[in-house]
Amino acid sequence: MTKKQKAGLAFKSLDETYEFYNDYAKDAGFSVRISKEKKKKETCEVFWKRYVCFKEGETDETWRKKKDSESTQIERERGNVRENCKATLTVVYDGFNFVVKTFIEEHTHPLATPSRVHLLRSHRGVSDTKIKLMKKFSNVNIPLYQQFELLETQAGGHKSVGFIERDLRNFAQDEREKIKGHDAEMLYELQIGGR
């Protein structure tokens, strides 16, 4: 599909638009993020949205220096992720569909190889099925690293799992945070229900 063909594409929803661009990005070797959106004041409906390469923009060096001077603990030095990449997809709502207005393919950085593209953030995600399985594993006290090993074995390798172990740990942390304030309430309800 040429650049001109992409410029006229229409999508029924923003989810469909994101799915298209993310699939395109996976084939090309980069990750996608949402940059900006504009909404109508009266209805708060999105009428304009921009999706960009995850390396779009620049790192604010003054922010980084301020953060380094305020930090009391030693943190891992991370590389510069932003490389001022110009790859963009912009859509505008025409009343019926979201139509592609801007499509820029050029990148200012090397793209990921097919063997590494599954590790990029927009191409990872813990599915509902795997969440349910993980909860069952947790109920029988299987540690997270073993849960991930089981998922790897079931999927036929780490590339087929769909996410990395860090995603699993982050999800587990989020679940613990949800329960945090409700432990006493749940215990009280169990005691009342047992009477």
For each of the chain's 195 residues, which pLDDT tens digit applies? 555 557 789 999 999 999 999 999 999 999 999 999 999 999 999 999 999 999 998 776 665 666 666 666 666 666 667 888 999 999 999 999 999 999 999 999 999 999 889 888 898 888 888 889 988 998 899 999 999 999 999 889 888 888 889 998 998 888 888 877 676 666 667 677 655
- Give 124's DSSP letter: -
Domain ranges of the chain: 1-121, 124-195
Round to whole Å and give the CA distance between 153 and 182: 35
pTM of the shown model: 0.74
Instruction: Provide the pairing of β-strand 32-39 with 46-53.
Output: antiparallel
> 16, 9 in Cβ contact below 8 A?
no
